[in-house]
Amino acid sequence: MIEIKVSDPVFRFLGGHFHQDIESPEDALDEYLNEASQKLKERDLIALTEFVNSDYSEEDKNEFIEEAADGIYFPEDDITPLEWLKQVIEQIKEHLKTI
């Protein structure tokens, strides 16, 4: 199991943008992409990519994402939390190309 630290950049990203008060994950991501600074998005992209590529098990990564992004109900989306995070990473990459 991955120890959750509030100071962890991955936890801050997930918990800060995908919490229980969001309208939808898509709206939360759009808001982040439109309002966060380029520097923050670049830092988050590095942290998220390092997390996805880390040596933690897929199960541990999925549990961490589910706990941190408590505003998303993953079974409803027919996608694992890790697959979802990989899609988010790709969307951030694509967005940064347009800046």
The range of the structural domain enclosing residue 27 comes to 11-97
Q: What is the pLDDT of residue 83?
A: 96
Q: What is the pLDDT of residue 10?
A: 95
pLDDT band at 6 (very low <50, low <70, confident <90, very high): low
Closest by Cα among 52, 54, 57 to 86 = 52
Q: Identify whether 16 is part of a domain.
A: yes
Q: Identify whether 5 is part of a domain.
A: no
CA angle 84, 65, 93 (to 5 degrees): 45
Q: Identify whether 80 is part of a domain.
A: yes
| Overall residue count recorded for the chain in this entry | 99
Q: Identify whether 37 is part of a domain.
A: yes
Domains contained in the chain, number: 1
CA angle 31, 37, 39 (to 5 degrees): 135
